[in-house]
């Protein structure tokens, strides 16, 4: 047995068939013609108990029979009243189709599909659509339809809907009968290539349907979120709003909604934990580094309701890799940097990711005349909880450089100290202020010169 396939119920299976004779069920309206006996002929309807109530012979059970089978059953009953009865049963209008759908659909359960006069009977994919569409965990190659056949054992029809997606073979899109039970099994392993095709199928869930997922680990605001296909990141740590083209919710959209990825995230070891309809868990491994470096769009995995996204902290990461992550579309559009000290507009500023240190100073208005313009202190909170402090000599002509002009990270603090002369003047002013009303600065220095 294929290790990537989950076990199915132990039903006897038959090959798929083409258009079959109609199977009667409750609500069907039929015309019964008894040759040369007009008083026994006329229109009738199959009752909820599966019978036709006919003149002089009473109820005849026809549920689960074909039209020919029903004619034979009626003929046998009229044989006690007529010699060689010749009965024909014609379908005038089918009744509503009631089916059960289980397995990997979003809303499993029982469905009643009304049939209007002149319309075709519903197909398998139509029934799946009514049940909210298939999930990403569905095994389309082993769909089963279980069909009752009156007193005979149920017929089980194996359907390969993957072939239907690949070839458009309409014989795979089976016509559904009332009483059918549809079972969509679980694939124990998700194929990322097939996942994209499944999401684009006509019987997939509506891409505008919001999904409830959880994002944990190296994002700015981990937790539960409702994700749509238009989610987009704003500032670091701020849940994303909307923007971009409408599309199926994916892992990068969920990361954006959770405030964006952190620069120290291990984007090669992301996992999606998915609970299937059978109650088992699937683990899907995602490598977003392939998406960034190779454009492997399959890594932007399509999500489904209830997914949990786990983003670990990288054990080691180079400054270059961290810079590339900060520039990714699933990183925040802006980061927060606190610039304090001798700048014209001290305080919190929002700047693009990877902006160099010098640009962070300029975002706060640049140096004041009182500042030590040769260097600044950069304070950074490290992933392990420690705090680092670096004194960096500034050169506004220097491009982005990890040592001389490093890229800023969210929550960095830039301290611009006053110059030595400014510090001396401030101290002197503090000393002189209490005695300023009695002495001039000239007298103050003269006192010291006379000592």
- Give pLDDT, residue 8: 44
Chain Cα centroid distance, residue 59: 53
- Give pLDDT, residue 239: 57
- Give pLDDT, residue 57: 95
Range(s) within the chain of domains with CATH label 3.10.560.10: 97-199, 211-326, 335-418
| 3-state class (DSSP) for residue 75 | helix
CB neighbour list of residue 81: distance below 8 Å, 6 or more residues apart: 56, 57
What CATH architecture does domain 97-199 belong to? Roll (3.10)
CATH class of the domain comprising 29-93: alpha beta
Direct distance between the N- and C-terminal alpha carbons of the chain, in angstroms, rounded to an integer: 103
Residues of the chain where predicted confidence (pLDDT) is lower than 70: 1-21, 117-119, 150, 229-246, 420-451
- Give pLDDT, residue 118: 58
CB neighbour list of residue 50: distance below 8 Å, 6 or more residues apart: 24, 25, 26, 61, 62, 63, 64
335-418 has CATH 3.10.560.10 classification: yes
The DSSP line for 423-442 is HHHHHHHHHHGGGTTT--HH
- Give pLDDT, residue 446: 52
Range(s) within the chain of domains with CATH label 3.30.1950.10: 29-93
**Tens of pLDDT along 270-290?**
999 999 988 889 999 999 999
Q: How many residues are listed for the chain in this entry?
A: 451
| 406 vs 356: CA distance, rounded Å | 6
Sign of CA dihedral 175, 179, 180, 182: positive
Sign of CA dihedral 189, 194, 196, 197: negative
- Give pLDDT, residue 424: 44
- Superfamily of domain 211-326 in CATH is Outer membrane lipoprotein wza domain like (3.10.560.10)
Strands 181-184 and 152-159, sheet pairing: unpaired
Q: Are 121 and 94 in contact (CB under 8 A)?
A: yes
| 412 vs 205: CA distance, rounded Å | 43
pTM score, whole prediction: 0.72
| Six-digit token string for 246 | 């409408």
Spatial CA neighbour of 96 closest among 79, 111, 84: 111
């Amino acid at each position: 047995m294929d290790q990537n396939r989950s076990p199915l119920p132990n039903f006897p299976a038959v090959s798929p068939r083409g258009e079959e004779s109609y199977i009667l069920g409750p609500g069907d309206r039929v015309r019964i013609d008894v040759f040369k006996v007009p008083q026994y002929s006329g229109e009738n309807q199959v009752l909820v108990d599966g019978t036709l109530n006919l003149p002089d012979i009473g109820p005849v059970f026809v549920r689960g029979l074909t039209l020919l089978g029903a004619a034979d059953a009626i003929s046998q009953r009229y044989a006690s009243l007529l010699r060689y009865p010749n009965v024909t049963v014609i379908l005038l209008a089918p009744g509503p189709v009631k089916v059960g759908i289980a397995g990997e659909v979003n809303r499993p359960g029982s469905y009643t599909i009304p049939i209007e006069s002149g319309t075709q009977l519903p197909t398998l994919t139509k029934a799946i659509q009514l049940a909210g569409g298939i999930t990403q965990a569905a095994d389309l190659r082993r769909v089963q339809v279980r069909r009752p056949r009156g007193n005979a054992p149920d017929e089980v029809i194996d359907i390969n809907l993957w072939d239907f997606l690949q070839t458009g073979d309409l014989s795979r899109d089976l016509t559904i009968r009332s009483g059918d039970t549809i079972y969509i099994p679980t694939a124990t392993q998700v194929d990322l290539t097939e996942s994209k095709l499944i999401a684009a199928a006509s019987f997939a869930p509506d891409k505008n349907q919001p999904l409830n997922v959880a994002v944990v680990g190296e994002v700015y605001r981990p937790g539960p979120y409702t994700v749509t296909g238009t989610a987009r990141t704003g500032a670091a740590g701020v849940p994303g709003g909307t923007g971009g083209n409408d599309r199926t919710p994916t892992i990068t959209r969920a990361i954006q909604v959770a405030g964006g990825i952190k620069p120290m995230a291990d984007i090669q070891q992301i996992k999606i934990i998915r609970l299937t309809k059978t109650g088992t868990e699937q683990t899907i491994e995602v490598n977003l580094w392939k998406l960034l470096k190779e454009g492997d769009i399959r890594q932007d995995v399509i999500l489904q309701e209830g997914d949990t996204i786990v983003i670990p902290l990288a054990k080691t990461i180079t400054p270059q890799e961290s810079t590339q992550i900060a520039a990714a579309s699933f990183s925040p559009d802006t980061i927060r940097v606190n610039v304090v000290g001798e700048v014209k507009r001290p305080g919190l500023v929002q700047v693009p990711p990877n902006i160099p240190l010098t640009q962070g100073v300029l975002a706060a208005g640049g140096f004041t005349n009182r500042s030590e313009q040769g260097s600044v202190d950069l304070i950074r909170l490290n992933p392990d909880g420690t705090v680092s402090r670096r004194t960096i000599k500034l050169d506004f002509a220097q491009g982005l450089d990890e040592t001389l002009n490093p890229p800023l990270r969210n929550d960095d603090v830039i301290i611009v100290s006053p110059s030595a002369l400014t510090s001396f003047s401030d101290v002197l002013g503090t000393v002189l202020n209490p005695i300023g009303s009695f002495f001039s600065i000239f007298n103050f220095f003269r006192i010291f010169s006379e000592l």
